[in-house]
Structure 1
């Protein structure tokens, strides 16, 4: 049902590995777009998913990162190690620069890999749909690129809508609270079988961040008083005007998070990730910004798992 979309950086892959069992038991299917040259982390992640008896979709022609010009290494990995694993699917990213002929070539190359189409700005949906003669496992639509008219050309199999609920800003500019998404409630009204998002990272891709003038902790929650819409808290450090002392800024942001949890009806589930934030607060420990991002992503996955399991 839920399809979180990851760009395959280090802490994205660690997040998937650490939640592999939870996602498998919740029937969540991560989509992974590999962006790093080395595929060791991806292989470890797919092995963890297989061990958990879960499912995943791997983009074989990434738009971003080290494989954006040639994804053959990804295809080779799938052929050599995961061809017999029916739970690992090849995802073909249908972006603006891809032709119908190239799309069909990718489909034929990966027809034995339970191919999924990931629609992300493709220009010829009607023509492609008429020429496809390979069984498609799933159609996944990135909402900002795929309106209802586009989506009507691809029926007959499972369909998933991905919405980017995270509004990317400079850390210092985030508001304390804003709406994230209602797609977990409304996807069926969109004539979809499932939904997804880009977690608390967003669709915008960047190689790496600069100095942290401000540190922000992003925590999603579902508000039962507002039709179960998902919202997001942004806990931003008080200090915002210097690139130094990320540990101190994390402590400021974490104080705000713990204060919200302890002194108000925050609606935030006490997930494993939240317990880890509490432990960091008690120890006064800064684990690094990558781990902070990982914990926020894990909390997002845990929140949706708790909600969807009732």
Structure 2
């Protein structure tokens, strides 16, 4: 099973809602609320589609809502009458034993998972928790011996495989996307995950000097991200033209190579044919859709 971590933003959740229903046999999205108002608005899209997801209670990034806010505004409010979701609690450096105990005892009607973003000291305590649905390990921050000592045959291995660049122009033509897709079974895990083509540091910066479109492709048991990047000679202007330049390269690549055609790729192809510049949020949506659908297609034929 695939567990992509998704920020509860407009185009990210639009991507989930537009992914073909058949793929949900292979993946469960892990939703990270980043802003109360916008997240409540966007999560209603998942509710309207009856999509099952895991809601993270305490992701811990600065400015993100805490567990009390998520309880008040989501679990006791917008999700009050929705049954098709579960929750997850992030173990961080400052996490105390009583906080884990409180979490396990809370929300008796909901399934619960733990996200290990730090190696918690009392591993025996975690091992003895019998009512944890998934132990989700962020493998960039915890090692294999910790996973072995804590897991109860319910491990999910998650890493950030997207090599984010500070400037779009610095992206190479392609790079390998590091993933547990090909080794999670051999590590006795029940699933794997990633942060799609966004990465674990999704920040909004200044207007870009160049446009980068990211396309996930599975090839010979390797996962690649191809980057189609426009020039930056016009500074922060001419974004529509730069988008078209990058899109032309992407369309040419798809036409010349053996690539599984996802609904994300179809979005890019239709944009190329129409010549319409949709802004940069919608191409982000197409890239997320393509990434998830490429992986789910691979899982479906195993």
Give the count of matched residue pairs: 298
In 1: Cα distance, 2:268 partner to 2:111 partner = 39
Equivalent residue runs for 1:84-233 within 5 Å: 87-126=84-123, 128-129=125-126, 132=129, 135-169=131-165, 170-206=167-203, 208-224=204-220, 228-233=221-226
In 2: Cα distance, 1:184 partner to 1:199 partner = 12
Partner of 1:167, secondary structure, is: coil
Equivalent residue runs for 1:286-301 within 5 Å: 286-301=277-292
Partner of 1:34: 33
Gaps of 5+ in 1: none
In 1: Cα distance, 2:269 partner to 2:202 partner = 30
Aligned-pair distance for 1:259? 1.5
TM-score, normalising length from structure 2?
0.90
CA separation of 1:64 and 1:231: change in aligned 2, threshold 3 A: same
The structure whose RCO (Cα within 8 Å, separation 6+) is larger is 2
Partner of 1:231, secondary structure, is: strand
In 2: Cα distance, 1:160 partner to 1:84 partner = 28
TM-score, normalising length from structure 1?
0.88
Partner of 1:259: 252
**1:268 aligned onto 2:259:** yes
Aligned partners of 1:255 and 1:281 also within 8 Å: yes
Aligned-pair distance for 1:209? 2.1
In 1: Cα distance, 2:161 partner to 2:246 partner = 22
Partner of 2:185, secondary structure, is: helix
Partner of 1:75: 71
In 1: Cα distance, 2:201 partner to 2:187 partner = 24
In 2: Cα distance, 1:42 partner to 1:137 partner = 26
Return the match for 1:63 from 48, 60, 65. Answer: 60
Aligned-pair distance for 1:286? 0.9
Partner of 1:293, secondary structure, is: helix
Equivalent residue runs for 1:39-58 within 5 Å: 39-50=39-50, 54-58=51-55
Partner of 2:55, secondary structure, is: strand
In 1: Cα distance, 2:186 partner to 2:153 partner = 17
1:194-253 Cα deviation digits (max 9, x unpaired): 1111000111132x12111111000011112xxx11111000012355111211111110
Partner of 2:242: 249
In 1: Cα distance, 2:108 partner to 2:122 partner = 19
Partner of 1:7: 7
Partner of 2:181, secondary structure, is: helix
Deviates further, 93-102 or 278-287: 93-102
Aligned-pair distance for 1:287? 0.7
Partner of 1:21: 21
Gaps of 5+ in 2: none
Partner of 1:239: 232
Return the match for 2:275 from 263, 281, 284. Answer: 284
1:38-95 Cα deviation digits (max 9, x unpaired): 1423431341452xxx421101112126434x33232232245656765411110112
